[in-house]
Structure 1
Amino acid sequence: MKLSKLALVAALACGTYAGNVFADQTNEIQLVSHRHAACDCGEPACGCEAAIPSCDLGCSDGCDGGCDGACGCDSGCGIGNALGGLLDCDDCCLGDPYTLFGEHCGWSAGGWVQLGYSNKALPAFNTYPDHLQLQQAWLFAEKSIDTSNGFDIGGRIDYLYGTDGPNTQAFGTDPRGWDNSWDNGGQYGHALPQLYAEAGYGDLSVKLGHFYTIIGYEVVGATGNFFYSHAYTFNFSEPFTHTGALATYNVNDDVTVWGGYSMGWDSGFDDNGDAYLGGISLGLTDKLQLTYAATAGRFGENRFNGVETGYMHSIVADYAVTDSLQYIIQNDILSTEDAAGALARESFGINQYLVKTLNDCWAVGARFEWWNAEGAGFGANGVGESDLYALTLGANYKPHANVTVRPEIRWDWDDDQFIGLEDGTRQTTFGVDTILTF
């Protein structure tokens, strides 16, 4: 089975070479600006406001400099305006986002608040159904390094409180480490997911401390993901954080290389493991980016029979099909053993994302995942190898530059009840959240 999976990975790599791949670790949802071809009137103000035949209801031709009407006038295409431009050919006018703290002496600070609701529990993060919940109250302070004039020093600290807090703590060292005991009741908790210093000179920089992983496509911070819910690979097959040292070298505009050492998976500032962490990102064409990231070694001492060792990688390809259509495919492979040499965890996953930006206010997307998993480390309830599938359809709506609303509907299939869905082998879940940045 391992050989067939590796062959499939090779086939996928060949199939995606003609296309754009990256592991997005940013803290901001980016919607690609979109313009209807028939609206190209050459005026930059608030997008293109030209009237087009499909919505010309008495509007004059040409461009209206304001944002007060659909297709350049107050009449016609009213439904498009009411839906924030969903049916409108024009860009909506969001303006610049507000910041609460701004930047002072090279340091910047900010954050966001995420409120969410789902009608059923999912095994990945959204585990508190039928409750309007504070999932992330997030604060950060950061000094980004600037090596254009030589050597520079910076760093970052992140604080999180909410129902996502316990999932983000350094639980890999339970009960010893870091923020693992900062729970508040049965669902809420605090976490310090990042605390690191960074130094750089020229094209080389080094992080030292507690920081997010470079592995995978999805991230913990709500502002870095298109969907409200998470993929199985993100929650079960990838680390969230590392403690150690990580060097980044920008070879040129198209090539970035990482390499470093970590004390295991999801560990705090204690000796919990010894693992290599590294990878490479390649801009193969103007539209295609490919990122490979891997970790190997001793992942933790408080896991299966006292230790877990092995290898894990993710390969992410991001292809810009058009200026407004993005396709991402990701492959994860994980294989680990316990202290006795027995299987601890083995998984193989393929995630596919398709995101269409309609305008600056609206985007729609789909995610389909196949996750094959085996091992008691997943809480398999005595079940051996199992295949799980999940299809998610969702939208991003920005009524304001600081506000994003993400409704979604998700279907999960788990014939072997490997994870334990509320509905047994099938589950349909509706969820929606709102993110306010500051």
Structure 2
Amino acid sequence: MKNLFTLAMLFSVFIMYAQDSIPESEEAPKKKFSFSGSVDGYYRTNLGAPNGGENSQTPNTSFANGNGFAIGMANAIISFEGKKVGAVADLVFGPRGTDAVFGSLQWDLDGDGTPDLGNSSQVVNQLYVYWNVSDKVTLTFGNFNTFLGYEVISPTGNFNYSTSYMFSYGPFSHSGLKLDYAINDDWSLMGAIMNDNDLTNFNLTNNYTLGAQVGYKGTYLNFLYGPQFQVDLTTGFDITDSFYLGLNSTYYVDNDSDASFYGVAIYPQLKTSESFVLGFRAEYFGEGKGGVGAIGGYDDDGDANAFEFTLTGNYAIGDLMIIPEFRIDTTSEDTFLNDDLEPTGSLASFLVAAVYKF
């Protein structure tokens, strides 16, 4: 105890001396506080398929699956930024937010032997601290959204309002420690050790996942290795001043069951004026050995596939984005029901969303 007390006193003296010895010009600047976020809602209807009730039909992808007038989420991002260190709390409220943090389990508070849902941590989309070790190296610790894929949880970060199959069945978030290294203006590296995908509150399985990323001029090759393996490529190019083309391709396999999915999508976008952009998403998605349940039914080999085509417009009115969208899903199996409640392999739908960013 004497030794600990002595060390504590010496440490306190050292800290006070170090602070007093810093010239005024070199003192740490005050922390910068910022608050941002978004609010979104939409109207959605099926064309040639039931709306509402027990037979209501929706694409088997995340978000934008309500019928009629529906709400998305309110997103509040609070950040503190110092010279070297900072913290981010990203909170989500509403159906889209609840779907995004589905893996946010709580301790077994009711003693039934399983972690509890419906807890306050289910509004936490991201919660992390970071340390800029140098101009090139940043360490991040906590819960952060995935680095895989072309699309993200927030509707302000996507061109299309509905989401792809590849995004929906890949990871949303991770908890762990990651290191970002900016080699130069063109090349970057990232390495991470994390819990299983989407287990953000604590490690329920005692398994760990390794993550890695290699970046070059806006092209990223991503890897996950653990209970699941995934490799993912994301890139995009400005073909002209008004035409952009994005690309995402991924392959995933569960190392225990060998169930897998894979896919590729292109994202062409044409800017027709300062306020309007027209875009398209064309996606192929396949599953093997029963996959992840995205497509209703499988052939004799346990395989199934889907094509998804989404035509989207983005009309900007200041910070408000109006997003009309027409989507067609076609599957190799009879995944949907038509108006006559007969099984069918296609579904057409239309929505218009309003997204405000602040």
Match of residue 327 from structure 1: 245
Match of residue 282 from structure 1: 216
Q: Do 1:407 and 1:433's aligned partners in 2 also have CA atoms closer than 8 Å?
A: yes
Aligned-pair distance for 1:409? 0.2
Aligned-pair distance for 1:207? 0.6
Q: Do 1:294 and 1:311's aligned partners in 2 also have CA atoms closer than 8 Å?
A: yes
Match of 1:421 among 329, 336, 341: 336
Residue identity matched to 2:313: A
Aligned-pair distance for 1:203? 1.0
Residue identity matched to 2:242: S
Match of residue 434 from structure 1: 354
Residue identity matched to 1:427: L
Match of residue 355 from structure 1: 269
SS in 1 for 2:168: helix
Q: Higher strand fraction: Structure 1 or Structure 2?
A: 2
Q: Indicate how the Cα distance of structure 1 residues 175 and 377 shifts in structure 2: closer, same or farther if over 3 A, else same.
A: farther
Match of residue 226 from structure 1: 159
Q: Do 2:92 and 2:98's aligned partners in 1 also have CA atoms closer than 8 Å?
A: no
Using the TM superposition, name which of 205-214 and 137-146 deviates more: 137-146
Match of 2:321 among 382, 385, 404: 404
Match of residue 387 from structure 1: 305
Match of residue 149 from structure 2: 216
- The one-character-per-residue Cα deviations of 1:259-296 (angstroms, maximum 9, x if unpaired) are 0100110012312330101101101xxxxx32111111
Q: Indicate how the Cα distance of structure 1 residues 143 and 357 shifts in structure 2: closer, same or farther if over 3 A, else same.
A: farther
Match of residue 60 from structure 2: 123
SS in 1 for 2:150: coil
- Rounded to whole Å, the distance in 2 between the matches of 1:398 and 1:135 is 19
Q: Indicate how the Cα distance of structure 1 residues 382 and 366 shifts in structure 2: closer, same or farther if over 3 A, else same.
A: closer
Aligned-pair distance for 1:318? 0.9
- Rounded to whole Å, the distance in 2 between the matches of 1:332 and 1:430 is 27
- Rounded to whole Å, the distance in 1 between the matches of 2:270 and 2:99 is 30
Q: Do 2:290 and 2:303's aligned partners in 1 also have CA atoms closer than 8 Å?
A: no
SS in 2 for 1:166: helix
Stretches of structure 1 lacking an aligned partner (at least 5 in a row): 1-103, 147-151, 284-288, 298-308
- Rounded to whole Å, the distance in 1 between the matches of 2:315 and 2:116 is 35
- Rounded to whole Å, the distance in 1 between the matches of 2:306 and 2:143 is 32
Seq. identity, %: 21
Stretches of structure 2 lacking an aligned partner (at least 5 in a row): 1-29, 47-57, 110-114, 339-343
Match of residue 114 from structure 1: 40
Q: Indicate how the Cα distance of structure 1 residues 192 and 315 shifts in structure 2: closer, same or farther if over 3 A, else same.
A: same
RMSD (Å) for aligned C-alpha atoms: 2.4
Q: Do 2:155 and 2:355's aligned partners in 1 also have CA atoms closer than 8 Å?
A: yes
Q: Indicate how the Cα distance of structure 1 residues 180 and 206 shifts in structure 2: closer, same or farther if over 3 A, else same.
A: farther
Q: Do 1:171 and 1:180's aligned partners in 2 also have CA atoms closer than 8 Å?
A: no
Q: Indicate how the Cα distance of structure 1 residues 367 and 144 shifts in structure 2: closer, same or farther if over 3 A, else same.
A: farther
Q: Do 1:138 and 1:160's aligned partners in 2 also have CA atoms closer than 8 Å?
A: yes
SS in 1 for 2:98: helix
Aligned-pair distance for 1:174? 8.3
Count of residues paired in the alignment: 301
Match of residue 294 from structure 1: 223
Match of residue 311 from structure 1: 229
Residue identity matched to 2:264: I
